[in-house]
Structure 1
Amino acid sequence: MPKTYELDLGDYWRIVKRRKVIVLGTFFIITAAIWIHTSRIPPTYKAAASVKVDKPRTAGTTDPTFDVWEGTDFFEAQMEVISTSGVAHEAASALGLIKEGMTEKEVGAIIEPFQGVIPSKRGNTNILDISVTTNDSKQAAMIVNAVAKGYQIWSLKDHNEQAKQVREYVWDLLKENEEKLRLKEVEVREFKEKNPIGASLGTFQSQVVDMEIKLSNLLEKYTDRHPEVTELRGQIENLKVRLAKFPELEMQFNKLTGELQSLNSIYGGLKQKYEDAKIAEAQTVSGITILDVASPPDSPIAPDLQKNVTIGAVISLILGILLAFVKENVDTSISTIEEVEDFLQVPILGVIPEMVHFTPPEKKWEWRNWLKFLPFKAFQRSGGSDITAIEEVRKLIMLSGEEHQFSSLEAYKTLRTNVNFAVAQKKGQILEITSAGAREGKSLTALNLSLTLAQNGQKTCLVSGDLRRETVSRILGVNKEPGLVEILTKDIPWSDVIRKTTDLLVGELPPDRILQTMGIDNFYLLTSGRLPPNPAELLSLDKMRTLLTELRQNFDFVIIDTPPVLPVSDASVLGPQVDGVILVYQVGRTARGALKRAKVQMASTGANVLGVVLNNIKAAEMKMAPTYYYYKEYYGPDEQLVRERHRKKSQGKSWWEKIFSRTA
């Protein structure tokens, strides 16, 4: 059962270093974008003024009938008023911005900035703050001060207008009441004239008694028909009738006099209110008091470049790290030696570190060296051409005369030792070097392993078995024809087509590198020959088995470079015919599932999978075994030594030679 590993701080740091391009790219791109965006935002200034608002009572009265703010939220209404076009018009007029003859559209454009103010109430006080934000500090102060003044003017005009309306209303009531009073006075006068009710009830009653006594005296002298008796009786009857009507007339009179008094009272009150309204209409003091006048702000409130960039940098760094972990999580490649061994159940035979060729100072200005900074991997690999790519690969061959990182050479020596132990140091061993996918470095690994074995005194033959995309002959600079294909199809003896040291000397590699390499005479090369249309069929021929048998008898090691396992079947065809298969795996290029399928596929054909070579490993990419670090620490990359050698070489040159050597 595969082991599970808990990540420690070192693992997290390794992931960040491994994905540093994502982390740094995200950090610099987002931070730069925020810096550029913030720098291009116009500065915003804020200015504020404050006013005290006294709640008015129209027309100078305390009568709630005339309190226009009764039952309303006064300060909410005032904050709405401050942002209206009326106040904005007064503010613009106070600055002399509105001229006669302007159209409504022109006036609207002028007062628009003044309507952009933001009023707010200060706590539970009657103070309102008026603020505005603009891109000009002087304009901001000018706008809020003008609005405060315009609000004061508008409030006074509004108060006077209300007072005028109240005065006119009271005047109409006064005239109406005056007419009613006149008519009531006439009615009372006429009633009094028609109904003399000035005497009291007792006076009428005494008159009746006196007249009845007088009637009794007359009856003693005269008869009932006597004229005096008859007249007196009529007067008594008339007086009694009037006496019976007296209470009703008195009530009517009292009602009329009461109505007259009420009208007189209302008339007097209205007359007083009218005088008060006239005084209020003439008032020149507003209920708005300007407390604080705004001054142009010295610094903008936005944008805050330092704050935005700092926040952006922190967020982008966090985002970059998160993206790195997301990338690591979705990356299906294998990142530790233990994972490879547990996942494939085969050992790690070698760990080949990343081999970076040192560029001398005089060549740093060559155009091809700048191509590596391009984001297109094709140009990075090839330097702009296929020929340049081959030249770069040749610098990584384990030959003398080229200054390498010594850790790479020692890594191949370790691989050589592990291979010898894997095959029990038997002679005549045939090994197949392959990989799960393309571009994992199998051909270079096969070549360097062959050279390292040869330098160890072991007679080694490298067979270019990739009959689809031959690479080894191009790297070594020799003609690929005739080769393996010609042996299998034309019955040419292998001894006639195999390449020796003399063939390499006439190739494209520098002869001094070949001659200075110890044990190079133990290295032999069998190229692919002309690429056939049916590679797998050729490799499955009996002639191929016969060839391998003959090579086994003549060499200590036969290293076969084959195509990748998964795309084609060539490697699977050769698997059962060889003594062992070595899988080359480049971390980060191939998914773990593909590597597993390659191993299973080779094993299913009966091939003996000896192990895996981890190729082109960066220190930040894998949690390596201590051995790798010992090589790196002990042998270096001895780049300082290389620089020193180049410095000494250039000391003997004149200044013009140094200049032309840079451009050569």
Structure 2
Amino acid sequence: MTTIKYELNLYDYIRILKRRKFVFFAGIISGLLFSLIYTNLQTPVYQAYAVVKIEPALIIPGVATEMLGWDMLHAVNTEVKVINSAIIAERTAKKLGLITENTPKDLASSIISSIQSKIQAERIADSNLVKIIATSSNKYEVAKLANTTAEVYIEKGVDDRIRRAKELREFIEKQLIDAEQNLRIAEEKLRKFAEETKTTGVGGQLAIELLSLQAKRDELLKIYTEKHPDVVLINQKIKFIEEQLAKLPKEEIEYARLTREVKLNEELYTLLAKRYKEAQISEADRVQPATIVTYAKEPTSPIRPNRVTNLSLGGFIGFILGIIFAFIVEHLDTSIATIEEVETYLGLPVVGVIPHIEEKTKRSHKFLFWEIKDEVATIKNKLVIYHSPKSPYVETYHTLRTNIKFSQEHIETRGIVLFTSAGVGEGKTLTSVNFALSAALAGVKTVYIEFDLRRPSVHRWFGVNRIPGITDYILGRKAYDEVIHTTTDFLLGGLEVDRIISTPGLENFVFIACGNIPPNPVDLLSSAKTFNVLNELKEKYDLVVIDTPPVLLFADALILSKYATYVILVYRVGRIARGALKRAKDMLTSIKANLVGVVLNDIRAEEMEPRYGYYYAYKYYTKEK
């Protein structure tokens, strides 16, 4: 078996898609239908969101904020986690009335988990704005859920702030009491020591001055290093005072120590007293650490499923599947689609390409819900006599006749042209009739013999009787003049008068029907009588055209091909498998039939390749007015 190998180009792919357009569009439609069904089966999901503005400085009141070095980034990120927590979900459920104190624990836990799964808080960029997103299949609850969560979070923030302020106040209050006691003890010690020792107080003054210098140095070190001139100067002063203190008597040194202790306790007490007042103010202040910037609104449409996106995706997937399926079907198709394939696979030239003709006749009969087309009316539309003599459709048959005539080195002046095909439905009969008619219109004296004894149909096209015919003439039952049909018979048979008048050359055409069908057609065709009749007709006419049954079904064509000058194999693209076509060709060549080539029938212009671009004209020119 010969393997067809040739390089596919872009047009080949386009041609395949055109040939398999039904498969291609079926893939697209399937993708769209699947996505539409999938979209309609999905539960709509709605979404709404509220935006809150968080004030990190108000989250932890008073001194704690400064002591912890709280920064906005950490604070906002922490609050996002708080909003997503189960605590907020529980408070939200309670505020919405979904759970109460009497709700069973398992049910309450399930409701809280459900709310927690529906709420998602996220920070907006690098700001202190947080978006609280509620997602649910209930479009009427999402906005309420988002707003309630925001309100609950703010309420919790206020409660937490008050609680922290209270805890801070209580802590500072306890420290303030201790500091007051320590100050009194230190003052009492200093007083008693002064009374007992009668010191001058110089040590105390130096101690106070030393504390002041040390405090200044600490402030400078926050800005400068140890080597800075100001720091160096203060260190020198501190060293000098320390040396002065060292030279004082023991009593003065102790007095200086006690003085420093009193001073330190005073400063601590003053600081705690200030913080205590601030804590009291914070505890009384119910300022909100967050505010709602944007309230959630009831959504007008679901976020999922996205009908446009799903249909677009379904259409795209269908488009891809359509291409894949089209190429799969093309790959599985064992027929031959192009001239190049036919010539390569069969080793025979393509002697003719017959274009597809759109049906103009609309005669039909309705039967119940079905419309049955009139076969004869449909065929008549495709006969060359119903087309302009100068139309490309008619010219294709003239080209076919020329190609056949010059296919051999020795040109026969008179000849028998036999048309056959591998299987049924290839269009061999119509091709052979048009071939004979076109020759007659060109002035060639032509006789057409309906030798398809298995399925005769041409006599109906011309409106003449099947009997008598060629079989009756071969068997001697009828004379030659009794079996031939001419223009007069066609006129009586229903062929329009104006069509006959407007078709010059039709008088050169003679038709012989099949006649009575014998019990065994093979015996009749193999007889010497058939051979003699064909030779007789060959002498009377310039051209004898024979229509025969398919080669693979009956032996008739093989028998008659021995008498034929030229044998033509008609093939309708995509009709049968390439193996069957090859088998038909091999059967004809095995009996030494003069198989001159193949006729591609019913070819659509879009199925042809650019290298055979002249066939494209058919699609344009055959649209006759």
TM bin (shorter chain): 0.5 to 0.7
Paired position in structure 2 for 1:332? 334
TM-score, length basis structure 1: 0.61
Residues in 2 aligned to 1:367 and 1:128: alpha-carbon distance in whole angstroms: 74
Q: What secondary structure, in the 3-state scheme, does the structure 2 residue paired with 1:620 have?
A: helix
Aligned partner letter, 2:354: I
Q: 1: CA distance between counterparts of 2:48 and 2:389? A: 65
Distance 1:75-1:394 versus aligned 2 partners, 3 A rule: closer
CA drift at 1:522: 1.7
Q: Secondary structure of the equivalent of 2:601?
A: strand
- Structure 1 residue 348: deviation in Å? 1.5
CA distance in 2, matches of 1:454, 1:47: 85
Deviation at 1:447, TM superposition (A): 0.2
Q: What are the within-5 Å matches in structure 2 for residues 286-325 of structure 1?
A: 294-296=295-297, 300=301, 301-325=303-327
Q: 1:36 to 1:342 in 2, by over 3 A?
A: same
Q: Which residue in the other structure is 1:524 paired with?
A: 510
Q: Provide the rounded CA distance (Å) in 2 between the counterparts of 1:99 and 1:514.
A: 100
Structure 2 residue 371 is the aligned partner of structure 1 residue 384: yes
Question: In structure 2, what is the equivalent of residue 26 of structure 1?
Answer: 27
Contact 2:568 2:599 in 1 (8 A): yes
Q: Give, in angstroms, the shift of residue 503 of structure 1.
A: 1.6
Task: Mark the CA change 1:6 to 1:27 in structure 2 (over 3 Å): closer, same or farther.
Answer: same
One of 406, 425, 428 as aligned partner of 1:442: 428
CA contact 1:565–1:572 (8 Å) conserved in 2 = yes
Letter in 2 for 1:637: T
Q: Could you say which residue in structure 2 is the equivalent of 1:560? A: 546
Deviation at 1:506, TM superposition (A): 1.0
**1:412 Cα shift?**
0.9
Change (3 A) 1:342 1:486: same
Larger gyration radius, structure 1 or structure 2? 1
After TM superposition, list the pairs within 5 Å mapping 1:226-375 onto structure 2. Answer: 294-296=295-297, 300=301, 301-358=303-360
The match for 1:637 is: 622
The reply to whether residue 499 of structure 1 matches residue 500 of structure 2 is no
| 1:114/1:147 contact within 8 Å kept | no
Which of residues 143, 151, 160 is equivalent to 2:145? 143
The answer to whether the 8 A contact 2:51-2:129 is kept is: no
> How high is the sequence identity, in percent, across the aligned residues?
36
- Aligned counterpart in structure 1 of residue 562 of structure 2, from 540, 559, 576: 576
CA-CA distance at 1:533 after TM superposition: 4.6
Which residue is equivalent to 2:399?
A: 414
Task: Identify if the C-alpha distance between structure 1 residues 129 and 509 changes in structure 2 by more than 3 Å, giving closer, same or farther.
Answer: same
Q: For 1:128-167, list aligned pairs within 5 A.
A: 131-135=133-137, 137-147=139-149, 149=151
The 3-state SS of whatever aligns with 1:399 is: helix
One-letter amino acid of the structure 1 residue matched with residue 96 of structure 2: A
Match of 1:10 in 2: 11
Distance in 2 between the 1:488 and 1:315 partners? 64
- Deviation (angstroms), 1:157: 11
Q: Residue 564 of structure 1: SS of its match in structure 2?
A: coil
Please tell me the residue identity of whatever aligns with 2:15: R
| Structure 2: tracts of 5 or more residues without a match | 61-77, 162-283
For residues 386-405 of structure 1, what are the structure 2 equivalents within 5 Å? Answer: 388-400=374-386, 402=387
Indicate if the aligned counterparts of 1:152 and 1:286 stay in contact, CA closer than 8 A: no
Task: Give me the whole-angstrom Cα distance separating, in 1, the residues matched to 2:493 and 2:567.
Answer: 30
CA contact (8 A) 1:82 1:151 kept: no
Paired residue for 1:472?
458
Shift of 1:594: 1.7
Counterpart-to-counterpart distance in 2, 1:284 and 1:567: 105
Taking structure 1 as reference, are residues 627 and 500 closer, same or farther at Cα in structure 2, changes over 3 Å only?
farther
Aligned length: 483
Aligned residue for 1:594? 580
Taking structure 2 as the reference length, what is the TM-score of the superposition? 0.64
3-state SS of the aligned residue for 1:133?
strand
Larger CA deviation: 507-516 vs 482-491: 482-491
Q: What is aligned with 2:196?
A: none
Cα separation, 1, equivalents of 2:590 and 2:14: 39
Is the 1:145–1:293 contact (alpha carbons within 8 Å) kept by the matching residues of 2?
A: no
CA distance in 1 between counterparts of 2:604 and 2:480 reads: 40
Letter in 2 for 1:593: G
Distance 1:624 1:616 in 2: 18
- 1:307 is displaced (CA, Å) by 3.4
**Mapped partners of 1:332, 1:585: distance in 2:** 14
Check the 8 A contact 1:38/1:303 in 2, yes or no.
Answer: yes
Deviations 1:490-516 (A, max 9, x none): 643444222222221211222322233
Cα offset, 1:343, TM superposition: 1.9
Cα drift, residue 137 of structure 1: 4.9
Distance 1:90 1:367 in 2: 78
Deviation at 1:580, TM superposition (A): 2.2
Partner Cα distance (2:47, 2:80) in 1: 27
Deviations 1:416-445 (A, max 9, x none): 212222365424412210111211110000
Q: CA deviation at 1:384?
A: 2.8
* Counterparts in 2 of 1:391 and 1:141: CA distance versus 1, 3 Å: same
Closer, same or farther: CA 479–369 of 1 in aligned 2, 3 Å:
closer
Q: Supply the distance in 1 between the matched residues of 2:287 and 2:347 (Cα, whole angstroms).
A: 95
Match of residue 233 from structure 1: none
Cα-Cα RMSD: 4.7
Q: Which moved more, 1:106-115 or 1:461-470?
A: 106-115
CA contact (8 A) 1:430 1:557 kept: yes
| 3-state secondary structure, aligned to 1:10 | helix
Q: Give the SS at the match of 1:577.
A: coil
Q: Write the deviation string for residues 195-249 of structure 1: whole angstroms up to 9, x where unpaired.
A: xxxxxxxxxxxxxxxxxxxxxxxxxxxxxxxxxxxxxxxxxxxxxxxxxxxxxxx
- Aligned equivalents of 2:610 and 2:394: distance in 1? 17
Alignment match, 1:243: none
Relative to structure 1, the CA distance from residue 490 to residue 637 in structure 2 (aligned partners, 3 Å threshold; closer, same or farther) is closer
Q: 2:605 aligns with which of 619, 624, 644?
A: 619
**Aligned-pair distance for 1:14?**
2.9
Q: Is the 8 A contact 1:446 1:559 kept in 2?
A: yes
Distance 1:590 1:544 in 2: 31
**Change beyond 3 A, Cα 1:486–1:48:** farther
Structure 2 distance, partners of 1:304, 1:47, is: 19
Is contact 1:432–1:561 with CA below 8 Å preserved after alignment?
yes
Cα distance in 2, alignment partners of residues 537 and 294 from structure 1: 98
Q: Which runs of 5+ in 1 are unaligned?
A: 57-72, 160-282, 360-365, 372-378, 643-664
Alpha-carbon separation, structure 1, partners of 2:449 and 2:88:
89
Aligned: 1:91 with 2:91: no
AA aligned opposite 1:384: E
Once the two structures are superposed, residues 66-86 of structure 1 have per-residue CA deviations (whole angstroms, 9 ceiling, x without a partner) of xxxxxxx999898562597x5
Among candidates 508, 532, 537, match of residue 546 of structure 1: 532
Aligned residue type for 1:589: R
